[in-house]
């Protein structure tokens, strides 16, 4: 949520800031801005509501930008104050400018103090309050590190801050708490960034800034200190390269990422399979926790939570462990019953989702063993969990999560088999058969649906003008419906609901009117007959029922036939159909597929 970039070095800094912000725009995109030193070392600021292009247009009339060598930039997802030029970052005073990710929770109290001290405010943001408090401490301390330390001592909430001081045109300062920030290492140039994708064009090497650390960055040096003492940090290298984070000829990131699913599944599974059986021995995964665990909690948000629902079915049926799937933002407030005998799995693509991170911390506090299933290496959730299994999907840039779900569910399926074996619930040959389906058959089935995208595109044309729509299913298909529905509404703005097919007639069927599309997931063989009856209930009221199944569903108006696969893994090709449906419907409606309104990729506020 929101993106930060900073550049200092031999090149034009504004060029790097814009490049970085373009890569970060997926994190928040309702306004953007930059602050930079011109060649006379005057500190300047340009910001604008709306997309990055608006800032670029303004910069075209600022000749000083051409001579800049040091600057910071920000792309915003509004929390305090509507998207506007004034509320955009950077914020500051004559002495300094800052960019901020996160939320300052005690902003009301701090603002009152500052008003009493004579400060005035032009924006509605918590960031301007932090900037003015820093200004106040800077006037007292006359040196940046002490002023920053006094500021962070006062801030409650989460923050990643990039800071420029007017009197130090050759330095960028950076600090963070509960919001990620890295320091990119270049040659004769250095960076700060909230996300590695912002700097991949220039470098893959970085330091991870930790809470309580202050980074002082010049063109030739990076000093990181903690409580005034310089520390030596481990240099890290990103696994992703710049190609992975670019669109590579696809019309949208979302389409590219759907196409990457088969390969991402194989990459994620390969290192964890030996002799066609699960093998997590290279993972520092405490398998004894899996063998003994009495109850499993899966906690996540959005699509990651839907992946958890699919996993629940597999863990319960294969390993016979009771599983609770919980929405991370609710988890803490439900006073969850967890103890040392429980395993808590946190699923997150970004590894930075604030609610999921908070749930992880609570689970640890309660003594449960925690396991993170995360895509972004070194992210907060990955670092704080007792064990981590990385999904190897590569960067996911489109706001709508696609390949992340596919790899999360693939990895969790393998883990469910491992767990079932450890608990003696499945024999080796049955495990081997299922793993073979997962590793060899499922990626091919997903690839086949991608090749047949035109069939789905035709359905998107059929539904593109509807206002409301239902997804229905039973068992695993109900969980899949939830994901299909989320994806469609997120990027096409069509209102849709996912319903347990048998539950519809208990009230909601009153919304079924002639012509309404009903997407009926029918991939659970034992439930297909019952689904047939539920489909008849809606077609009798004029609905246009579109089934997704292994074979033609005669009760439906049409069926998208998915490839034959072990039905326990049918969600994999079926979800690709739903993702493609959302994608093509969004395109057909002229929506901004990769950056849907009001959203941001990584939700780092609660």
Q: Which stretch binds ligand M6R (CB under 6 A): 17-25, 188-196, 347-355, 467-475?
A: 347-355
Strands (E), 117-261: 159-165, 172-177, 182-185, 189-193, 205-208, 213-217, 222-226, 229-231, 236-237
The crossing angle, in degrees rounded to 10, of helices 302-314 and 403-422 is: 30
With binding defined as CB under 6 A, does residue 357 bind ligand M6R?
no
* Residues pairing with 183 in the sheet: 192, 207
Spatial separation of the C-alpha atoms in residues 144 and 566, rounded to whole Å: 62
With binding defined as CB under 6 A, does residue 349 bind ligand M6R?
yes
Site string for ligand M6R, 391-430 (x = CB under 6 A): --------xxx-----------------------------
Spatial separation of the C-alpha atoms in residues 424 and 110, rounded to whole Å: 58
Smallest gap from residue 603 Cβ to ligand M6R (A): 5
How many residues of this chain bind ligand M6R (CB under 6 A)? 16
Q: Which stretch binds ligand M6R (CB under 6 A): 167-175, 241-249, 301-309, 583-591?
A: 301-309
With binding defined as CB under 6 A, does residue 302 bind ligand M6R?
yes
Site string for ligand M6R, 490-529 (x = CB under 6 A): x---------------------------------------
Q: Judge contact between 16 and 72, C-beta under 8 A.
A: no
**Which residues in 433-472 contact ligand M6R (CB under 6 A)?**
none
Smallest gap from residue 497 Cβ to ligand M6R (A): 16
33 or 302: CB nearest ligand M6R = 302
The crossing angle, in degrees rounded to 10, of helices 261-269 and 442-451 is: 170
Residue nearest to ligand M6R (CB): 302
Smallest gap from residue 345 Cβ to ligand M6R (A): 13
Q: Which of 329, 348, 406, 482 binds ligand M6R (CB under 6 A)?
A: 348
SS3 for 503? coil
- As annotated, the active-site residues are 2, 601
Kindly list the distances between the CA atom of residue 71 and the CA atoms of 1, 15, 16, 578, in Å, as whole numbers in the listed order: 20, 10, 9, 43
With binding defined as CB under 6 A, does residue 544 bind ligand M6R?
no
Smallest gap from residue 356 Cβ to ligand M6R (A): 5
103 or 421: CB nearest ligand M6R = 103
* Element housing 59 (H / E): helix 52-59
The set of residues, in sequence order, having a beta carbon less than 8 Å from that of 294 and lying 6+ positions away, is: 321, 322, 341, 342
Q: Which stretch binds ligand M6R (CB under 6 A): 74-82, 285-293, 342-350, 501-509?
A: 342-350
Q: Which stretch binds ligand M6R (CB under 6 A): 230-238, 275-283, 350-358, 535-543?
A: 350-358
Q: Give one DSSP letter per residue of 532-547, joined into a string.
A: HHHHHHHHTTT-EEEE
With binding defined as CB under 6 A, does residue 3 bind ligand M6R?
no
With binding defined as CB under 6 A, does residue 127 bind ligand M6R?
no
Structure-token pair, residue 436: 């073979």
Structure-token pair, residue 299: 């906690």
55 or 456: CB nearest ligand M6R = 456
37 or 253: CB nearest ligand M6R = 253
With binding defined as CB under 6 A, does residue 603 bind ligand M6R?
yes
Spatial separation of the C-alpha atoms in residues 307 and 490, rounded to whole Å: 17
Smallest gap from residue 469 Cβ to ligand M6R (A): 17
Query: HEC string of 396-455?
Result: CCCCCCCHHHHHHHHHHHHHHHHHHHHCCCCCHHHHHHHHHHHHHHHHHHHHHHHHCHHH
The contact set with ligand M6R (CB under 6 A) reads 301-304, 348-350, 353, 356, 399-401, 486, 490, 602-603
């Amino acid at each position: 949520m929101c993106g930060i970039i900073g550049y200092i070095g031999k090149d034009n800094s504004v060029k790097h800031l814009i490049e970085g912000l373009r890569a970060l725009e997926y994190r928040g995109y309702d306004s953007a801005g930059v602050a930079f030193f011109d060649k006379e070392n005057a500190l300047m600021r340009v910001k604008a509501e709306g997309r990055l292009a608006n800032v670029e247009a303004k910069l075209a009339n600022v000749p000083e930008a051409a001579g800049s060598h040091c600057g910071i930039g920000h792309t915003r997802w509004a929390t305090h104050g509507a998207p506007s030029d004034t509320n955009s970052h950077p914020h500051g005073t004559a002495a300094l400018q800052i960019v901020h990710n996160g939320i300052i929770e005690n902003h009301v109290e701090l603002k009152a103090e500052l008003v009493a001290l004579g400060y005035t405010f032009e924006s509605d943001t918590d960031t301007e309050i932090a900037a003015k408090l820093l200004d106040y401490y800077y006037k007292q301390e006359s040196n940046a590190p002490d002023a920053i330390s006094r500021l962070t001592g006062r801030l409650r909430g989460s923050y990643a801050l990039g800071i420029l001081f007017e009197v130090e045109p050759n330095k960028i300062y950076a600090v963070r708490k509960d919001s990620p920030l890295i320091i990119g290492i270049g040659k004769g140039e250095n960076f700060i960034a909230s996300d590695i994708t912002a700097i991949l064009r220039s470098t893959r090497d970085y330091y991870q800034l930790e809470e309580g650390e202050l980074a002082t960055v010049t063109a030739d040096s990076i000093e990181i200190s903690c409580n005034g003492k310089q520390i030596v940090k481990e240099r890290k290298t990103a696994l992703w390269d710049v190609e992975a984070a670019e669109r590579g000829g696809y019309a949208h990131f979302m389409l590219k990422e759907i196409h990457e699913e088969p390969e991402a599944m194989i990459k994620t599974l390969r290192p964890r399979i030996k002799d066609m059986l699960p093998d997590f021995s290279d993972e520092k995964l405490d398998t004894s926790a899996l063998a003994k665990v009495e109850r499993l909690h899966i906690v996540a948000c959005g699509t990651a939570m839907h992946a958890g629902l699919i996993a629940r079915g597999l863990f319960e049926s294969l390993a016979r462990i009771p599983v609770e799937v919980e929405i991370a933002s609710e988890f803490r407030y439900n006073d969850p019953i967890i103890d040392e005998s429980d395993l808590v799995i946190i699923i997150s693509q970004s590894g930075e989702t604030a609610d999921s991170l908070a749930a992880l911390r609570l689970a640890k506090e309660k003594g449960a063993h925690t396991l993170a299933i995360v895509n972004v290496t070194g992210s907060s959730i990955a670092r704080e969990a007792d064990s981590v299994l990385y999904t190897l999907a590569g960067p996911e840039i489109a706001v709508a999560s696609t390949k992340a779900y596919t790899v999360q569910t693939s990895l969790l399926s393998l883990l469910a088999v491992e767990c079932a074996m450890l608990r003696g619930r499945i024999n080796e040959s049955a495990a081997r058969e299922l793993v073979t389906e997962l590793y060899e058959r499922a990626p091919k089935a997903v690839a086949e649906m991608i090749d047949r995208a035109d069939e789905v595109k035709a359905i998107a044309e059929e539904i593109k003008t509807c206002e409301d729509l239902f997804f229905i299913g039973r068992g695993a298909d109900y969980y899949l419906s939830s994901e299909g529905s989320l994806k469609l509404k997120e990027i096409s703005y069509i209102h849709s609901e996912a319903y347990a097919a048998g539950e519809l007639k208990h009230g909601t069927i009153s919304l079924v009117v002639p012509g309404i599309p009903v997407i009926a997931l029918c991939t659970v063989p034992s439930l297909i007959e019952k689904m047939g009856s539920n489909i008849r209930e809606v077609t009798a009221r004029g609905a246009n029922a579109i089934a997704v199944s292994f074979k033609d569903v005669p009760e439906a108006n049409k069926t998208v036939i998915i490839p034959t696969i072990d039905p326990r893994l049918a969600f994999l090709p079926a979800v690709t159909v739903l993702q493609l449906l959302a994608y093509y419907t969004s395109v057909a409606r002229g929506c901004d597929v990769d950056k849907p309104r009001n959203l941001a990729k990584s939700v780092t506020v609660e």
